[in-house]
Amino acid sequence: MSSSSAHWSAYEIFAVLSGIILIGAAFVPGMSVKDRAWAVLGGIFFVCYGWYVAHQTTGTFSFPVVVFLIPPGAVIYLLVKAYGRSSGPSAAPGTTDPDGRRSPGTDG
């Protein structure tokens, strides 16, 4: 059995680091389950793709430009969703909260 060493260039390293950052961004408080799932799946994809390309011994594998645009865009999107949702205006008196209960300060 022959053991081949991996070829780690900046491209492979960036893909793996981007995946790790996306997985970490999934744990930012205030995100929906759907956003968390997409962040984890995207992170796993980037880690696996970087690892896969680094371990290739034959053929030509390249990284399209979009690989370098998706992770920062995804992290910015996740942060805006997480922090934009938590810094919204407070509910006016007499309205209901997300659980359907009435807010304090109402007559009823």
- Spatial distance between the Cα atoms of 75 and 26, rounded to a whole number of angstroms: 9
pLDDT band (50, 70, 90) for residue 11: confident
Position 104 scores a pLDDT of 59
What number is the average pLDDT over the span 56-63? 76
Position 56 scores a pLDDT of 84
**For residue range 77-90, what is the model confidence (pLDDT) as tens digits?**
888 888 876 555 55
User: Between 33-54 and 10-25, two packed helices, what is the crossing angle to 10 degrees?
Assistant: 160
Position 48 scores a pLDDT of 94
Predicted confidence (pLDDT) at residue 40 exceeds the cutoff of 90: yes
Q: What is the pTM of this model?
A: 0.64
Contact 101, 52 (CB under 8 A): no
Q: Which residue has the higher pLDDT, 38 or 30?
A: 38
Position 76 scores a pLDDT of 87
Task: With residue 6 as reference, give the H or E element that holds it.
Answer: none
Tell me how long the chain is: 108
Q: Which residue has the tokens 């260039």?
A: 9
Contact 99, 91 (CB under 8 A): no
What number is the average pLDDT over the span 34-50? 92
**Residues contacting residue 54 through CB under 8 Å, at least 6 positions apart:** 6, 7, 8, 9, 12
